[in-house]
Amino acid sequence: MGFLARTAITAFAFWCADALLDDLSFSGPFSLFLAAIVFGVVNALIRPVLLLLSLPFTIVTLGFFILVVNAAMLGLTSALIPGMKIDGFGAAFWGALIVSIVSWLVNRSIGDGSPR
């Protein structure tokens, strides 16, 4: 799947999270798409390092600590994008959970283009 399609899916997931949570907001569609791009870069570069460093916590919590890492990545994206606002860790946690679920559902419904 192409870069633009993944960015559009992430932007749609951010829009869903924005609609469902009062503590997560975007100033407009440009900040929504910019946040989707930055979120992809943050997840590609920083998330693997954090997952490796937090491996003992992830093992002890049976994988649930990955949700905390996802919330941290969303919080970092919010810190880098001036038009994105998250009020607290709870909003980042639930926002990351919503973004993950919506992205997974859309990717699952669209498929990866390979024959089954």
pLDDT, position 114: 58
pLDDT tens, residue by residue, 37-61? 999 999 999 999 999 999 999 999 9
In a domain, 115, yes or no: no
pLDDT, position 36: 95
pLDDT, position 110: 84
Report the C-alpha gap between 71 and 32 in whole angstroms. 17
In a domain, 80, yes or no: yes
Is 115's pLDDT higher than 60? no
Place of tokens 């038009």: 83
Report the C-alpha gap between 48 and 77 in whole angstroms. 15
In a domain, 116, yes or no: no
In a domain, 18, yes or no: yes
Domain coverage including residue 8: 3-110
In a domain, 49, yes or no: yes
Is 26's pLDDT higher than 60? yes
In a domain, 93, yes or no: yes
User: What total number of domains does the chain contain?
Assistant: 1
